[in-house]
Structures are given as C-alpha cells and as structure tokens.
Amino acid sequence: MLDIPAVPQQFDLTAALNRALFAQAAVDSSAATLAQEEVKLKEAMAALETLLMQHNLQGAASTLGSADFVPQEIYKAADWRAFHEHIQKTGDFDLLHRRESQTALRDRASNNELPPGVRKVTILKLKLTAR
C-alpha cells in the first residue's frame, strides 16, 4: 500500500485555497445548470397556470402528480401614507422589515447626506479568483 505523505505545514494555506477554488468551480457549474432548470420550471408553471385559468380549473392531476390553486393569505399596504402615519404614531415598527436599503443609503452617502444613526462600515469579504 502506498502511503501519501502529509502536506507540509507551509502548504496548508495553498491546499485550503485550492480546495476552496475547486469547490467554487463546482458550485458555479451547478448554479448555472440550476439557473437553466429554474427558467424551464418557471416557463412550465406559467404555461400550466395559464391553461388552468383558461379552462376555469382549480387543479389538475396525472399519474406523476397534481397541481392545485391553494389560497394563501398575504397582507399588502393599500395606502402607504396611512400605514406610515400609523407606524410613526404608534411606534409599531415591528410591522416593517428591519433592514436598511443599501441602494438608498449608498445614494445618500454619495451626496454626503447619510441620515442620523447611520454610518458607513467596511467589512472584509473573502473573494476567490480562479486562474
């Protein structure tokens, strides 16, 4: 049996980098394939939905499975001004997602107009570049 020697310690970083690059290449390849399949799925779902609606059907079934329109309740603001006024008056900020709009803040920062309580923070993000 052939014993493969351990990677010398000075090459640990290079080995970790290469593993990450190979993993990124695999993910990128899978992501591209998955994106193509997702487009096909959306097209098939749209065609099925159109046919069901044209024939006034609530669902359809085959030997492979079924598709049904199921009710789903969601809430949408019909009057944003009234909604915002309510939130400001009552302090019910839990009615909103607590997340800054990066685009709006970036635009304001470019004009030196960041609102109070907001600051620009730089974070480090690891970026892989394959050759």
pLDDT digits (tens, 9 = 90+) for 33-79: 999 999 999 999 999 999 999 999 999 999 999 999 999 998 899 99
First to last CA, the chain: 35
- Show the DSSP H helices in 6-99 as ranges: 12-54, 80-90
Q: Which residue has the higher pLDDT, 125 or 32?
A: 32
Give this prediction's pTM: 0.58
Mean of all residue pLDDT scores within the chain? 90
Question: Would you place residue 12 in the very low, low, confident or very high pLDDT band (cuts 50, 70, 90)?
Answer: confident
pLDDT higher than threshold 70 for residue 7:
no
Give the per-residue pLDDT at 56: 94
**Torsional class of 117: left (φ above 0), alpha (ψ -120 to 50), beta (otherwise):** left
CB atoms within 10 A of CB 57: 12
